[in-house]
A = this chain, B = another copy of it.
Amino acid sequence: MSGDVHAAVAARLQSADGRYTSARRRLVEVLAAAGQPLTVGDICRDSGLALSSVYRNLGVLEEAGIVHRLAGHDEFARFELAEELVGHHHHLACSSCGAMTDVRLPPDVEAELDRALSRLARKERFAIETHRLDVVGRCRTCASTGG
């Protein structure tokens, strides 16, 4: 993976008064290698870290704006690198197995959506931070196996 991400993470952690320890580096590597949101179970397995360390460090990284927690379609929370690091994107969320895949909208559609949401928010006096767009359905695997 690119060293840029590690540098950016180190900088963010430093300004958040945290160390870029080997455990945290491992988490970032696992998340970056996956390229899609992972459950804590996935992260534990891939990183070899203790459950409590995974949760604690994901919390630290989330606090520092490095990872992002998202509620999927199943009972498990999923984690991914923040959009500041990997760019704005959305997800295909399988309603059968819960898997999530990153996707990006064409820039013109994204721009029009942004404009429409800004108008809505202004009317409701709502201070937009970001938006989440999930496409819910059945992933390639589940659709073909009927799982």
Q: How far is the CA of A103 from the CA of B122 in the complex (A)?
A: 12
**Is A138 in contact with chain B by the CB < 8 A criterion?**
yes
At the interface, yes or no: A133 with Cβ under 8 Å from chain B? yes
Q: Which of A22-30, A37-45, A58-66, A123-131 forms contacts with chain B? A: A123-131
- The tally of residues in A whose CB lies under 8 Å from a CB in B reads 34
Report copies per complex: 2
Contact B143 A135 (CB under 8 A): no
Interface string of A67-81 (1 = CB under 8 A from B): 000011000000000
CB neighbours (8 Å) of A127 from chain B are: 137-138, 143
A129 and B120: CB pair below 8 A? no
A 93-115 binary contact with B (CB < 8 Å = 1; else 0): 10100000101011001001100
For residue A33, CB closer than 8 A to chain B, the reply is no
Q: Can you give 7 A-B contacts (C-beta < 8 A)? A: A95-B129, A126-B138, A127-B138, A127-B143, A131-B133, A131-B134, A132-B133
A121 with B137: CB separation less than 8 A: yes
